[in-house]
A = this chain, B = another copy of it.
Amino acid sequence: MARKASLSGFPEWLPAERLVELHVLDTLRKTFELHGFSNIETRAVETVGQLLRKGEIDKEVYGLSRLQAEEGEAGRQDPNALALHFDLTVPFARYVVENSGHLAFPFRRYQIQKVWRGERPQDGRFREFTQADIDVVGDGELPFRYDVELALVIAEALSALPIGEFRLRVNNRKLAEGFYLGLGLEDTAGVLRSIDKLEKIGPEKVAELLRTELGATAGQAAAALALAGIRTTDTSFVEQVRALGVEHPLLDQGLDELAQVIGAASTRAPGQVVADLSIARGLDYYTGTVYETVLVGHEQLGSICSGGRYESLASKGSRTFPGVGLSIGVTRLVSRMLAEETAAATRSVPTAVLVTLAHDDSWPEAQDIAAALRARGIAVEVAAKAEKFGKQIKYADRRGIPFVWFTSAEGSHEVKDIRSGEQVPADPATWTPPAEDLHVRILPAASPAAVTA
C-alpha cells in the first residue's frame, strides 16, 4: 500500500488494490444507472483551442506530438494541435454540441474516464487520475429541480461506498452575489475571490483584502464574512441570512434555490448534505448552485466531489445548453481508501476454486469440472501440472483461492476449504460455495476510526 509510483503522479494499483477501485467504479455505475444516467466516453484528446477556450491557463495541459512528426505538422502552440483533456466537462460540452441532433434532452449522462494534468504531484493530486462525472444538460432551459436531484444522487452514490462519513457542502452563487450587491459591493467576483481565501489566510486578512482591494467598509467586510460563516444542516440558514438585514432580488432567488436543495436533502440524506455559505468554487464557470464534498476526518485531502450549475455549458449559434453536474475524484478517493485501508477485498483474485490434477492426463476432465462450475457463475482455475497435492494447495493458498477441488481415480469428487481445512464430497453439477465466497467482496475495514464517524 505504501509502494511508490515508478513515475511520480501516475499511480498504479496491485491486483488486490484494483479490486477496491473496481468496487468503487461498479458501485458508482450501478447508482448512476438506477437513476437513469446514460454512459458515454469521449476521446482522450481535444484540440488545444478547445481546451483553452475558456482561458484555462491555470490547468497544466499535456500536448501531443507524433515522435516521427514531420516538419510543418501542427506545433504545440497551434490551436489545432492535440492535447490530453484535463477534465470531462470540456469534452462533454463539445460532445453535446456535436451530437445535439442525436440526443434526447434533458440529457442525463455519466462518464468515468482518466484525465491528465501536468501539475506537480502531491498528496491527493495526481498527473493521471480517474474522474466520475454526472451531468444533466437541457436544450435552452433546465428546471432547477435537477440541482436538487443531483445532490441526492451523489449522496446516494457516496453512501454506497465504504468511505465513511462525508459532507456534501452546497452554496449558491446567486445568493452570495445578491448579498454582495445588496451590501453595495459591485465587484462580486472580487469579493468571492477574497472569501475563497478564508480557509487559507483567515477572516482578519480577508477583511483587510476586502477593505484595501475592493474598497469595502468595515461593516461591509464584516457582513460578507458573517455570510461566509453560516453553515446549517437544514434550511435555517435562510433566517440567519435574513438576520443580516441585506436585501436584493438575486439574494432572494439564491436563498430560495439553496433552500430547495437543503430542504429535500435534510429529509432524504440527513446530515450528508449541508448548506455552507463559504463555498465559492470555479469562479468563471458556475452560475447558481455550487457543490463540494469532504471526507469527514480527511478534510485536508480537499474536495472529493465538486460541481455546480452552469447556465451555458455549451452553445451552438443562438442555442444554449444549461447544465448541472458533479465530478467525483475517484483516484483521490481510492488512494486514500488504500492508504488508510478503510476497505479491503475478501480475497486477492476472482478465483473461488482451484481444480487440482491427480495425473497429468486428467486435465481435460478437470476442464469439464471447471466448465460445470463456471456455468453457475463460479470462478475457477485448473492446475496446469499434476504436481504433488501439497504443492497445488500451496499455489491456491499463495493466490488466496479459498477452495481446492480433488477428483479421485474412481471419479469421486471432494472439495476442501483451505482456510478451515474442512473437506467434503461434492458434485460438479450442483456444488456452490457459500454466498459470501462466490464473488470477491469489498468490506469496510474492521478498525472503526476510518469507517464510522
Contacts and interface: CB of A to CB of B under 8 A. Distances in A.
A220 to B, nearest CB: 38
A143 B381 contact: no
Nearest to A84: B64
Interface string A1-27: 001001100111111001100100000
Contacts of A114: 44
Residue of A43, A108, A146, A382 ringed by the most chain B CB atoms within 10 A: A43
Contacts of A3: 99, 102
Contacts of A379: 33-36
A67 interface: yes
B146 A36 contact: no
Contact of A268 (B42, B267, B367): B367
A364 B35 CA distance: 15
A29 B22 CA distance: 11
A269 to B, nearest CB: 11
Interface string A24-59: 000000000111111111111101100000000100
Contacts of A106: 384
Contact of A83 (B41, B67, B95, B364): B67
A423 interface: no
Interface in A340-385: 348-351, 363-364, 367, 374, 377-382, 384-385
A173 to B, nearest CB: 21
Number of copies of this protein chain within its complex: 2
A145 interface: yes
Residue of A65, A267, A382 ringed by the most chain B CB atoms within 10 A: A65
A396 to B, nearest CB: 10
A243 interface: no
B104 A399 contact: yes
A237 interface: no
A68 interface: yes
A445 B149 CA distance: 36
Given A67-B60, A103-B15, A398-B104, A385 B36 contact: no
Contacts of A118: 66-68
Given A43-B7, A349-B36, A399-B104, A385 B145 contact: yes
Interface in A50-104: 57, 60-68, 76, 82-84, 94-95, 98-99, 102-104
B44 A18 contact: no
A264 interface: yes
A38 B382 contact: no
A405 interface: no
A403 interface: no
B40 A13 contact: yes
Nearest to A397: B104
A34 B57 CA distance: 47
Interface of A: 3, 6-7, 10-15, 18-19, 22, 33-45, 47-48, 57, 60-68, 76, 82-84, 94-95, 98-99, 102-104, 106, 108-109, 114, 116, 118, 128, 143, 145-146, 149, 152, 264, 267-268, 348-351, 363-364, 367, 374, 377-382, 384-385, 398-401
11 contacts: A14-B102, A33-B379, A34-B377, A36-B350, A36-B401, A37-B350, A44-B44, A44-B116, A68-B118, A264-B364, A264-B367
Please list the 10 inter-chain residue pairs (A to B) with the smallest Cβ-Cβ separation, ordered nearest first. A36-B351, A36-B381, A15-B38, A66-B118, A33-B350, A10-B43, A143-B384, A145-B384, A61-B67, A104-B399
Given A15-B40, A38-B350, 14 more contacts: A14-B40, A14-B102, A33-B350, A34-B350, A34-B377, A35-B380, A36-B350, A60-B67, A64-B84, A67-B76, A104-B348, A104-B399, A146-B384, A149-B382
